[in-house]
Amino acid sequence: MLVKSHKRALFAFLLLFALGARPAGGSAPQQDDQKWFEDVTHKAGIHHRHHTRRFNNPYAEIMQGYTKLGAAVAVADYDGDGFEDIFVTDSCSTCKNHLYHNNGDFTFTDVAEQAGVANGNDEENASSGALWFDFNNDGLPDLFVARFGHSILYQNMGNGKFRDVTKAAGLDRYMNAIKAIAFDYDNDGYVDLFIGSYFQPINIFHPGTPRFFPESFENANNGGGVTVFHNNKDGTFTEVTSRIGIYTTGWTLDLGHGDANNDGFEDLYVANDFGTDRFYVNNGNGTFTDKTETAIGFDTKKGMNADWGDFDNDGLLDIYVTNITDDYMREGNFLWHNNGNLTFTDVSRETGTYDTGWGWAGKFFDYDNDGWLDLYVVNGWVSAGKESYVPDIFAMVTRPNVDFADARNWPPIGNKSLSGYEKKRLFHNEDGHIFKDEAARHGLDSSRDGRGIAVADFDNDGRLDLFVTNADDEPFLYRNILPTGAHWMGFLLEGTKSNRSAVGAQVRLTANGKTYLRYVNGGNGFASQSTMRVHFGLGKTTKITSIEVRWPSGLKQTFPALAVDHWYKLIEGQSKSNVQPWEPKR
Amino acid sequence: MKNPHARLLAICITLTLFRLSAAASDSEYQAGVKALAANNYVSALQHLELAVSGDPDNPRYASEYRQAIIRCKEFDRSLQFFQKEVSQHPKSANLHLNFGFAYVDKIPVGGSITQVILANNALNEFTQAVELEPSWIAYYTRGVSYLFWPKIFNRAQLGVSDLLKALEIQNKGPRRSYYAKTYIALGDGYWKTDQMEKARAIWQDGLKQFPDNEQLKSRLALQGEQLKAAIEDQFDPGKRVNTDLRDLWSN
Which pLDDT belongs to residue B237?
81
The residue in chain B having the minimum alpha-carbon distance to the alpha carbon of residue A218 is B111
Give the count of beta carbons closer than 10 Å to the beta carbon of residue B213.
18
Of A62-71, A200-209, A467-476, which range is least confident? A62-71
| A563: nearest Cα among A451, A488, A507, A463 | A488
Which pLDDT belongs to residue A17?
39
Mean pLDDT, rounded, of chain A = 94
The alpha carbon of residue A545 and the mean position of all alpha carbons in its chain are separated, in whole angstroms, by 31
Residue A369, pLDDT > 90, answer yes
> Contact B153/A217, CB-based, under 8 Å?
no
**CB B96, CB B128: distance < 8 Å:** yes
Model confidence at A437, pLDDT cuts 50, 70, 90, reads: very high
ipTM: 0.78
3-state secondary structure of A222: coil
> Contact B112/A217, CB-based, under 8 Å?
yes
Residue A577, pLDDT > 90, answer no
Query: Is A277 part of the contact surface with chain B (CB cutoff 8 Å)?
Result: no
| A317: nearest Cα among A278, A362, A259 | A259
Mean pLDDT of B28-33: 96
Which pLDDT belongs to residue A558?
95
pLDDT tens digit sequence for A237-288: 999 999 999 999 999 999 999 999 999 999 999 999 999 999 999 999 999 9
> Contact A330/B116, CB-based, under 8 Å?
no
Which pLDDT belongs to residue A200?
97
Phi-psi region of A197 (alpha: psi -120 to 50; beta: other; left: phi over 0): beta
Residues of B in contact with A217 (CB under 8 A): 111-114
Put simply, whether the predicted model's pTM sits higher than 0.95 gets the answer: no
CA A261 to CA B126: how far, in whole Å? 51
Residue A1, pLDDT > 80, answer no
The residue in chain B having the minimum alpha-carbon distance to the alpha carbon of residue A401 is B117
Residues of B in contact with A328 (CB under 8 A): 116, 150, 152
Task: Count contacts between A and B (CB, < 8 Å).
Answer: 45
3-state secondary structure of A82: coil
| A253: nearest Cα among A305, A300, A296 | A305
- Kindly report the nearest CA distance between residue A12 and chain B, in angstroms: 19
Instruction: Write out the DSSP string of A107-132.
Output: -EEE-HHHHT-----BTTBEEEEEEE
pLDDT tens digit sequence for A288-324: 999 999 999 999 999 999 999 999 999 999 999 999 9
Residue A14, pLDDT > 50, answer no
Where is pLDDT greater, at A410 or A8? A410
β-strand partners of B159 = none
Residue A6, pLDDT > 70, answer no
Which uninterrupted H or E stretch holds A556?
Answer: strand A556-559
Residue A458, pLDDT > 50, answer yes
Residues 6+ apart with CB under 8 A from A521: A181, A183, A256, A257, A258, A308, A503, A530, A532
Give the count of beta carbons closer than 10 Å to the beta carbon of residue A101.
20
pLDDT tens digit sequence for A551-570: 999 999 999 889 999 999 99
CA B104 to CA B114: how far, in whole Å? 11
Mean pLDDT of A576-581: 87
Phi-psi region of A564 (alpha: psi -120 to 50; beta: other; left: phi over 0): beta
Of A9-18, A290-299, A317-326, B34-43, which range is least confident? A9-18
**CB A77, CB A83: distance < 8 Å:** yes
Query: Is A385 part of the contact surface with chain B (CB cutoff 8 Å)?
Result: no
CA B239 to CA B217: how far, in whole Å? 22
Model confidence at A11, pLDDT cuts 50, 70, 90, reads: very low
Which pLDDT belongs to residue A18?
39
pLDDT tens digit sequence for B56-88: 999 999 999 999 999 999 999 999 999 999 999
Model confidence at A484, pLDDT cuts 50, 70, 90, reads: confident
Which pLDDT belongs to residue A21?
40
| A149: nearest Cα among A113, A218, A202 | A202
Which pLDDT belongs to residue A576?
83
pLDDT tens digit sequence for A131-190: 999 999 999 999 999 999 999 999 999 999 999 999 999 999 999 999 999 999 999 999
Q: How many Cα atoms sit within 13 Å of A545 on the Cβ side?
A: 11
> Contact B152/A328, CB-based, under 8 Å?
yes
Which pLDDT belongs to residue B87?
97
**CB A193, CB A228: distance < 8 Å:** yes
Q: Find the CB nearest B113 among A217, A388, A391.
A: A217
Which pLDDT belongs to residue A24?
44
Strand bridging mode A174-183 / A142-150 = antiparallel
Residue B10, pLDDT > 90, answer no
Mean pLDDT of A460-464: 98
| A37: nearest Cα among A458, A371, A353 | A458
Alpha helices in A160-306, H assignment, sequence order: 166-169, 292-295
Give the count of beta carbons closer than 10 Å to the beta carbon of residue A447.
15
CA B134 to CA B127: how far, in whole Å? 9
Q: Order of strands across the sheet with A288-290?
A: A251-258, A267-273, A278-282, A288-290
Which pLDDT belongs to residue A433?
93
Mean pLDDT, rounded, of chain B = 92
Residues 6+ apart with CB under 8 A from A191: A133, A134, A135, A182, A183, A184, A231, A499, A501, A503, A522
The residue in chain B having the minimum alpha-carbon distance to the alpha carbon of residue A393 is B113
Residue B13, pLDDT > 80, answer no
Residue A199, φ and ψ in degrees, nearest 5:
-75, 155
Burial pattern A380-413, b for ≥16 Cβ within 10 A else e, equals: bbbbbeeebbbbbbbeeebeeeeebbebebbbeb
Residues of A in contact with B110 (CB under 8 A): 218, 300
The residue in chain B having the minimum alpha-carbon distance to the alpha carbon of residue A331 is B112
Which pLDDT belongs to residue B251?
67
Rg (C-alpha) for chain B, rounded Å, is 20
CA A72 to CA A128: how far, in whole Å? 6
Provide the 8-state DSSP code for A243. T
**CB B99, CB B108: distance < 8 Å:** no
Which pLDDT belongs to residue A15?
44
> Contact B150/A324, CB-based, under 8 Å?
no
The CA–CA distances, whole Å, from B146 to B79, B155, B157, B158 equal 21, 5, 8, 7
Residue A4, pLDDT > 50, answer no
